[in-house]
């Protein structure tokens, strides 16, 4: 789960991490008493909004409203800006970088910090980055903070303020089931205070059940992806036109790869997962059909998923939605014979992934 | 020999009375696995497929001497069940359950390690020592005993490849589905290490995916082992995944892509398949 | 650190564990509005107060004061009762037993429970006791509570109340650096409530620095032991008359053992530890002399402790306090020759522990 | 061979600039130990006895390739220092510090184990492989290389016994001071296991004390090993210790006394000395 900047700031505040004052606005008129001077920032879930003109500065209320007027309704990446966040301008002396994320290899949270933050962070040379694991189970120990202070070269008071923020950021990371807590810049102000200039927060989707308060937050999904998500279906819309549906993320990816090698382009990534509920399969297929593919490439390797159950769902969805798209079906595994029978007259059977991909490309071209 | 699991392993099924638990208990029994006990709190005294059900792992271990467990309990209860199994003294814990918050796994994995318990998964198809025993959910019929060790992050894609290996006339020693989650009990390099020391295993197939750097680390280790290694990497054309802020870029340092992984394996002298089933072709030409 | 019952109850309350109402009194007149009917209980740090008459029951204020009058000033074990605790009588349906302590072998906290608590707990047969480790690091998991409820055979509501108490008792165990949290009886009342009938709490002495609020609590020490404790000296008064001082707990114990085998009886257990500060040695020796031993048996194996430093402290203490007790000194290790020189004319040197013990016994008998 | 520590071990001294740290660094260097680095936060760049001091264990390991550490830092900072050493990757951690709250050790020990780090102590005299290296505070001159493995819960009492062993013409392989605290990194039975597998060690001396049940467990294991075991138990006449409520009685079930421990060793066929130095006599008569 991703969070709009203003929402991330709200959660940072809850953990006692200093953030700039700010107000959210959906119309220019919502801005009544913004902190001045301020930066008016588009609230979108993609990066690069600065370059896209989604951040403007204002010294007066009028200027702030003017900026909001310019930004609201703007398109950034695939999104239309619906809200702006007018945020107090900071008197920054130094921009640091700080993040906590997960290091899969070490099976531990990883703290990354740099004495040079802000826009340039990705070009900071490797040796200027400070990386240290935050040991799970035993909690944050003082040695981490000592090493950090040394690496950032901060004076004593600054070091103690940054340490305090690290402690709180780690508490947030653990308490909110976060995948990423990123503060860039971590701003050292001219008056000595240290503040989270911008906050990025991603929370583990699998932990949604522990954080029902986040369930309804808007995410960066297309309407169809949103519909699929609500039904618990793993579905991503892609650029191509061949509707790919398979079971298991690895197999779905591999199917897209093989299709690509055969000259086709996938329009969907639809992972049926391990379901063997025909109703669920039907729902998934309905989503797929709404993406209006020119051909459907179905690739099932039955293990938990029984092939006939999938076939039944496919048949029902096609019949009920009266869609007449060629379906190339490659079905292996448990009950594959019954599955072929069920799809008789609807799908074009294939023996292998390669053959199925070839047939799909040919069907699109008018074949098979 | 095989690794981790064999015909002597005495297995508990945690969550045995659930839909998946029942189904796969039957399949594991069919495969010859010694499923000695099931655990579902509150259902002690029942039985599933003739396997006695206990209220707790402690009761199950006491009564049956079980030394391994496979876990089918839903994600919100998985941590509880995993720690219970570890405390009850099992040496091998296979976590099939998917969608477990990874913060739970950050606790489970080091704790299990401290107590000498090897964890496979979560979010994995489990483990099979072909012809001996299965602690997992893979379809039985695609496996045949042999000398190919298989390591994989995914489920059905593995079946696809295992099936191709078997069709090509080879067989498997142990197939380890390590799982695709951010925090897993046995990493890909660790699985390689295990198979590299197994006498039955003569060659090793690695089925990887985009994301993370496990394949790159595995490739580096593959360079140091004597057995031939074959790899397939899924996701060459996958949409770019969720971007983990700047941190993601900083951590991965250009690794994590299919290209990076393929190059790493090639640099280690491993053969890399373009299609899943090409693994079989490469094995044959070896 | 041990706690008087009333103090333990106070800490239990802090963690939300239900305890009976009660008031503390140092004089009968302090009892103004005790909960009635009540049990008036001597506050001492040893067990067996019930048998010693230290618990009496009262239905009226007058009876309560009467009971207090009888108990205050009473001697229980080595202690004079200075305070009583008048505690609400509970309407008990069932007495359970519950404790959390440390299992050294498993390096983990151990929960012990029994469906039969109260006075009989030590005679409960082994198989009626429920033992389960509370895994460190990962915290209390629900399986512990399920297993406990099953073993205690509690109905659902009772089980949930006991579970809640276990959770809180474990939080107390961890939060207060406890060595022992014991609730006996854990009382199931006739109205269904569950309460800590009596609470025993011992906190790790080594964690005193984390709990300065407990530093001044009275402990079960003799005045001389208290004086030693305040000076950071490990000192225990024993029944015998030979003052034993050594360095290291193991060596001190072994010295007492050897002395015993030779027919002597140690009057003190004084472990110098690893100190090599002559001032500290002098302080320790002063404590030893205050215990008025008839002979002193000094056994030092110098490692960290330098033998000459110890000898210097001994000499100074003897000279300043003008005490003329035979000192049998067995000194080995770093600087042992210089140590012997320093003690020339004061101590009787010995080569081995055995010889030293023999000399001590003989010196006491009028020799050597 | 010896166990855990030898002339190749590269040792860090944590708390090297303190009084004890300095003193024992000198003694360990004299003994021939490869003390490659010291750590004291804020004192990086200094040196003690020619040993470079670093601000952190990470810096020390990076610069010197150290694989072990000995810890002299005061109790309130010991957990921090121990976890730092473990995270920096040392494989052996000797904790000399006494009076560490045992709740800290409940965290340290399993975590270290999960990361593959062996801990000795705390509240112990450390470890010495006679003639090779010392990571501890024992007096150097009483040791002589030989075939007697020594395991002990106490400090000076061990010196007493080691001295007697040496005087009697024997020598030591490795002497492990496991420490006397409730929660220690390497238990007495584990130390026995280590020494029983060591080729240099031909006989094993166990120095125990009243309290706990480690001696009884060790005796049970001693029954299963082929090397002769000798034991001395201190505390036959010690005052009864702090009584841990009913729980204490329930846990120990009559174990924990000197008699129980002596009987356990005798039942295991071990020779038990009445006086500390009698250990030497028993060795000689063996």
Domains D10-120 and D138-285 share a fold: yes
- Residue identified by tokens 């098979």 is A368
Q: Minimal Cα–Cα distance from A179 to chain B, Å?
A: 8
d(CA A332, CA B185): 30
What number does CATH give the domain C21-88? 3.30.1490.20
- Among residues C258, C259, C255, the alpha carbon closest in space to that of C271 is found at C255
Task: Please give the mean pLDDT across all residues of chain D.
Answer: 93
pLDDT band at A314 (very low <50, low <70, confident <90, very high): confident
Mean pLDDT per block of 10 residues along chain C (368 residues) reads 93 97 96 94 86 93 96 88 95 94 94 86 82 94 96 90 97 97 94 92 94 86 88 89 92 94 93 80 89 92 78 84 85 84 84 93 74
Domain D10-120 belongs to what topology? Rossmann fold (3.40.50)
Choose which CATH entry (3.30.1330.10, 3.40.50.300, 3.30.429.10, 3.30.470.20) describes domain C92-210.
Answer: 3.30.470.20
C-alpha to C-alpha distance for A141 and C162, rounded to whole angstroms: 34
| Chain mean position to CA C150 | 34
* Strand residues in D45-105 grouped as ranges (E): 47-48, 51-54, 68-71, 92-95
Let me know: does C277 contact C270? Beta carbons within 8 Å.
no
* Predicted confidence (pLDDT) at residue A257 exceeds the cutoff of 90: yes
How many CA atoms lie less than 13 Å away from D180 in the CB half-sphere? 19
> In chain B, pLDDT over 90 holds for what percent of residues?
88
pLDDT at residue D42 is higher than 90:
yes
Q: What is the DSSP string of A109-142?
A: EEEEEESS-GGGGGGS-GGGEEEEE--TTT---H
CA distance linking residue D160 with residue D150, whole number of Å:
12
For chain A, report the end-to-end CA distance as a whole number of angstroms: 42
Instruction: Pick B87's closest partner by Cβ from C133, C142, C150.
Output: C133
- Please give the structure tokens belonging to residue B92: 């091998």
B107 contacts on C by Cβ (under 8 Å)? 137-138
Angle at C328 between CA C323 and CA C334, to 5 degrees: 110
Mean pLDDT (chain A, rounded): 90
The catalytically annotated residue of C4, C6, C85, C97 is C97
Can you give the pLDDT at residue C309? 83
Interatomic CA distance for residues B238 and A237, integer angstroms: 11
Contact across the interface for C141 and B108, Cβ inside 8 Å = no
| CA–CA distance, A15 with A165 (Å, rounded to integer) | 9
Chain A residue whose CA is closest to C136: A137
Peptide linkage before D146 cis (omega within 30 of 0): no
- Determine the distance in angstroms separating the CA of B109 from the nearest CA of chain C, rounded to an integer: 10
Query: Exposure string (b/e) for C137-165, b if CB count within 10 Å is 16 or more?
Result: bbebbebbbbbbbbbbebeeebbebbbeb
pLDDT-above-90 percentage for chain D: 88
Parse chain C into domains and list their residue ranges: 21-88, 92-210, 223-364
D111 touches chain A (CB under 8 A): yes
Alpha carbon B240 to its chain centroid, in Å, reads 25
Chains that touch B (3 or more CB pairs under 8 A): A, C, D
First to last CA, chain B: 23
Q: Chains that contact D by 3+ CB pairs under 8 Å?
A: A, B, C
Q: Which residues pair with A103 in a beta bridge?
A: A108
Chain C, 126-185: which have a CB under 8 Å from a chain B CB? 132-133, 135, 137-138, 141-143, 146-147, 150
Strand partners, C187: C95, C195
Most confident of A148-152, A343-347, B144-148, D209-213: B144-148
> A187 with A92: CB under 8 angstroms?
yes
Contacts of D77 in chain A (CB under 8 A): 142
Task: Tell me which CATH code domain D138-285 carries.
Answer: 3.40.50.261
Q: Residue A304: what pLDDT? A: 67
| Residue numbers of A annotated as active site | 97, 182
Report how far residue B52's alpha carbon sits from residue C347's, in angstroms, rounded to the nearest whole number: 74
* Predicted complex ipTM: 0.93
First to last CA, chain C: 42
Tokens linked to B231: 């790899």
Provide the shortest C-alpha distance from residue C270 to chain B (in Å).
Answer: 39
* Catalytic-residue membership of C182: yes
Tokens standing for residue C47 = 């067990």
Question: Which among C221, C203, C223 is positioned nearest to C212, based on CA atoms?
Answer: C203
- Residues contacting D215, CB < 8 A, separation 6+: D188, D206, D208, D209, D231, D233, D261, D264, D265
Assess whether pLDDT exceeds 90 at residue D204: yes
Sheet with strand A347-349: strands edge to edge? A234-237, A266-271, A242-246, A295-302, A327-333, A347-349
Structural domain spans, chain D: 10-120, 138-285
Beta strands in chain A (DSSP E): 22-25, 38-42, 55-58, 75-76, 79-80, 84-88, 92-103, 108-114, 129-133, 178-189, 194-196, 199-203, 234-237, 242-246, 266-271, 295-302, 327-333, 347-349
Q: C223-364: which CATH topology?
A: Rossmann fold (3.40.50)
Distance CA D163, CA D139 (A): 10
How close D247 comes to chain C (CA, Å)?
Answer: 7
Tell me the whole-structure pTM to 2 decimals. Answer: 0.94
Which of B107, B113, B117 to probe by mutation at the D interface, max D CB count within 10 Å? B113
Suggest the residue from C206, C333, C355 to mutate for an interface test with chain D (most D CBs closer than 10 A). Answer: C206
Per-residue pLDDT for A339 more than 60?
Answer: yes
Q: Does the beta-carbon distance from C146 to B83 stay under 8 Å?
A: no
Q: How far is CA B129 from the centre of its chain?
A: 11
Among all chains, which residue has been given the structure tokens 């010294």?
A: A59
Pick from C269, C274, C279: which is nearest to C231 by CA? Answer: C279
CA closest to C204 among chain D residues = D101
- Decide: helix, strand or coil at residue D194: helix
């Amino acid at each position: 789960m991703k969070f709009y900047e203003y929402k991330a700031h709200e959660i940072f505040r809850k953990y006692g991490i200093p953030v700039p004052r700010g107000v959210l606005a959906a119309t220019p008129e919502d801005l009544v008493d913004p902190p001045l001077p301020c930066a008016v920032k588009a609230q979108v879930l993609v990066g690069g909004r600065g370059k896209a003109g989604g951040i403007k500065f204002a010294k007066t209320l009028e200027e702030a409203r003017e900026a909001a007027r310019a930004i609201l309704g703007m398109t950034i990446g695939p999104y239309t800006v619906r809200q702006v966040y007018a945020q107090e301008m900071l008197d920054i002396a130094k921009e640091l970088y700080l993040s906590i994320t997960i290091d899969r290899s070490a099976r531990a949270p990883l703290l990354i910090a740099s004495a040079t933050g802000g826009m340039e962070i990705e070009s900071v040379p490797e040796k200027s980055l400070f990386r240290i694991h935050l040991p799970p189970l035993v909690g944050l120990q003082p040695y981490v903070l000592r090493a950090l202070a040394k690496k950032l070269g901060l004076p004593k008071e600054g070091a103690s303020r940054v340490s305090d923020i690290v402690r709180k950021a780690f508490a947030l990371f653990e308490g909110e089931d976060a995948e990423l807590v990123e503060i860039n810049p971590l701003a050292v102000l001219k008056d000595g205070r240290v503040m989270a200039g911008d906050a990025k927060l991603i929370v583990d989707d699998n932990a949604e059940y522990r954080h029902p308060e986040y369930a309804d937050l808007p995410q960066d999904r297309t309407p169809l992806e949103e519909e699929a998500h609500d039904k618990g279906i793993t579905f991503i819309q892609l650029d191509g036109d061949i509707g790919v549906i398979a079971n298991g993320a690895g197999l779905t990816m591999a199917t897209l790869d093989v299709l690509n090698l055969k000259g086709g382009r996938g329009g969907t990534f639809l992972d049926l997962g391990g379901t063997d509920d025909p109703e669920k399969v039907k729902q998934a297929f309905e989503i797929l059909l709404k993406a209006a593919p020119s051909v459907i490439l179905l690739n099932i390797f039955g293990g938990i998923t029984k092939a006939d159950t999938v076939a039944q769902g496919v048949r029902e969805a096609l019949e009920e939605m009266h869609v007449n798209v060629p379906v190339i079906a490659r079905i292996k595994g448990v009950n594959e014979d019954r599955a072929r029978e069920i799809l008789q007259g609807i799908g074009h059977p294939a023996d292998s992934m390669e053959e199925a991909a070839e047939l799909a490309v040919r069907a699109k071209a008018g074949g098979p | 020999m095989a690794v981790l699991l064999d015909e002597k392993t005495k297995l508990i099924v945690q969550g045995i009375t659930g839909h998946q638990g029942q189904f796969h208990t039957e399949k594991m029994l069919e495969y010859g696995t010694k499923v000695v006990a099931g655990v579902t709190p509150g259902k002690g005294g029942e039985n599933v497929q003739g396997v006695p059900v206990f209220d707790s792992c402690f009761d199950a271990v006491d009564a049956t001497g079980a030394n391994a467990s496979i876990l089918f309990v839903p994600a919100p209860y998985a941590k509880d069940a995993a720690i219970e199994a570890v405390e009850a003294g099992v040496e091998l814990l296979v976590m099939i359950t998917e969608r477990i918050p990874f913060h739970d796994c950050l606790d489970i994995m080091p704790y299990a390690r401290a107590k000498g318990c090897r964890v496979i998964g979560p979010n994995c198809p489990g483990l099979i020592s072909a012809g001996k025993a299965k602690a997992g959910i893979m379809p039985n019929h695609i496996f045949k005993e042999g000398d190919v060790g298989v390591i994989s992050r995914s489920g059905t894609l593995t079946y696809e490849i295992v099936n191709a290996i078997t069709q090509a006339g080879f067989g498997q020693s142990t197939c380890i589905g390590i799982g695709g989650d951010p925090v897993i009990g046995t990493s890909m390099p660790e699985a390689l290490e295990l198979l590299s020391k197994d006498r039955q295993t003569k060659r090793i197939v690695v089925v990887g995916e985009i994301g993370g750097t496990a394949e790159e680390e595995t490739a580096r280790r593959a360079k140091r082992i004597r057995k031939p290694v074959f790899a397939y990497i899924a996701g060459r054309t996958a949409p770019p995944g969720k971007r983990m802020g700047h941190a993601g870029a900083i951590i991965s340092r250009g690794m994590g892509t299919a290209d990076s992984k393929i190059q790493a394996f090639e640099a280690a002298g491993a053969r890399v398949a373009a299609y899943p089933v090409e693994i079989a072709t490469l094995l044959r030409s070896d």
